[in-house]
Structure 1
Amino acid sequence: MRILLSRRIAASAVLTLGLLGLAGCSMFSNDDPRYAPAPLTDYAPGISASIAWKTSIGSDGGYGFAPAVVEDTVYAATPNGKVSKVDLGSGAIQWQTDTDSTLSAGVGSDGRTTAVAANDGTVIALDDQGVEKWRTKATSAVNIPPAVGAGLVVVRSTDYRVQAFDAATGEPRWNVQRPGPALALKTNMQILVFDGVVIAGMPNGRIMIIDARSGNVQWEGAVSVSQGATDLERIRDVVGTPQVQGPLLCGVAYQGRMVCFDVSQGGRPIWDRPFSSHTGMTTDARQAYAADAHDAVHAFDLGTGNELWSQNALRNRRLTQPAVIAAGVAVGDFEGYVHFLSRSDGHLLGRLDVGGDPLVSPLVATTRGVLVQNSDGDLVLVGAN
């Protein structure tokens, strides 16, 4: 797995560096044993995991592509321009549309409007029959999935601007821009539209809550503050998906911190701790889970931030953002395995090979199991009990 760093200059140059270089070792040698992926180990199985269904939805995958689940329906896209609606229970494709574009990100959906982004910054919206509704241009490239809700399609572009378009017409509704760093990660990040607001993590290490109707910024909180002598050292991107649990809003940054804010008390931080993640965090009602920069998986008490356990058996296996289901915490790795860990103490419960290519899209928890979008353009539902 590789993380892309985009430099904010007129030519929009892109520099590609491996995770090993970002982690602090030599960029010119990947042979340091400190960064070697941990071998798979034997363990006593605690769950039974199997593939419930597997469906081809196009070709390729990568950062910026993750399935969206609305009730019992899955919406997904692939870089070759295909957008699909899939039945969650069976994996049957209900419709598939070719946008005739090379896509950079997708999808967002509320079950009525489904949106993707093309390489040139074009935002494309489809209705729930797969028929194109409109196309419009963002101010620059879009590398994270659009978010759809509250009558809006919302994107975050590479000029550090959050832009909202009318879901019915594509007309611009509002935009919010913030200054950003010289370098920003290109990895898995997502925007939320939730309860009348838009929640977005930004490359400057901050989370914003924006009123969906007006575009007014209601609150901003710092997950991490940029520091260091070089552009690489100053990277503090908020990664993954912001997490909402009751009054708590939580986020994590690369080379930064993990923080939970209490939005019922004006966004006051109730805890924060040093932490670096390149994929993001997830939560349930009691705990927060994240893989650190070396892919050790950690669990923290959601109310206090106290570390409850860590699991080092998957070190350097380039893990995805975790997903939480009743059976445990699931993460994908660079060899196409999905691993299941106990929520109570982190011990390994199960492992399933869903494909030989790296899993880079975040795993998605559903009522039927864990949904995986792999790098071959397949959707896979993994059941575990």
Structure 2
Amino acid sequence: MCILKSGKMTGNLDSHNTSTNWLPDTSIKYASMSKVTDWWQGYLKYQVPKSVRRKMLIFLFIVAICCITLIYSCFNCYVICSGTCNVLSIKPDLMTQNAQNITRLSSSHLKTSQRLPSCIIIGVRKAGTRALLQYLDLHPSIVASAKEQHFFNTDRYKLGLEYYRKEMPPSLEDQITLEKTPAYFSDLMTPERIYRMNSSIKLLIIVREPVTRLISDYTQLKFVKGQRNKEIEEFEDLVLDENGEVNTGYRPVQRSMYYHYFVNWLEFFRLDQIHITNGDALITNPYPELYNIETFLGIPHKFSQQMFYFNASKGFFCMSKESLETPCLSDTKGRPHPKVDPEVLEKLYDFFRPRNKLFFIQAKQTFDWP
């Protein structure tokens, strides 16, 4: 019921005998408020036309959508907000910026936490694991541990997974946490331990031609002993026993017998969980190998052929200076190998050739090795 008073006239709007024609033109027409509309009309005594209300609602809806989109874009480092988000000024282009810096800036605006790795580079030693890690660490979808953890192959495993998790770098929920420890590949207990942590984890293995890897392993050991003022025997004396046969008791020789260790990993993981990278190809042309890894991990393809150039002094490819701040590996990488007796080399090739074929059968892929 609504009673209108204007001047000396008083009327009942709900009366059937009362006409609204007697209302003056200057009077405000009051409307009765139903239970459905009074929650939003409040004390507003005059009725807004439906066409106006509809336009207001559409306008408010559009404003709300724009605000949500703007907020999302500003917090997403892969979307550039011109003018509004100049404080970020981030472009997801590996050719112009270090993608790792993009990840760090993104982490400052989005929630990060330390997570167990969802991908591990498990080996092989002296096959290019460090180069592979540094390349992948440039990808905005990957955050890599800076050091080798040696968690699954040492007594650190007794410290528990919580200790291991806290050793990992902070990452976003949609990023891959990556760890590298080449010694995992040849350790007998590591496959089962990693499986218990995450049975669906993805594993990366990088291999080189076994004899070349063997020589590189020897070169590394010789360098380390030289730093400690210790001498090491000649390569030929270590890789051959007293009978002139290949010394299978020498650890660098064992590490090049890939089939012997790969079978242990296949006991716990499907082959489609393991990606084998050609370490020799990573040296001569890294882009195709990195492209295949991006596909394997299911992440966007950010690398391009133009990002790499060949460093003649080091003997391998480096990232262009426009792509990142530290474009090449350290000086400890790419050391010259010692000259080896050709007869010893041929004997090593003959030794590894049938063993390589066993590895090819296991991996269901082949490599162009002598």
TM-score bracket for this pair, using the shorter chain length: under 0.3
Q: Which has the higher helix share?
A: 2
Q: Which has the larger radius of gyration?
A: 2
Q: Which has the higher strand share?
A: 1
**TM-score w.r.t. structure 1 length?**
0.23
**TM-score w.r.t. structure 2 length?**
0.24
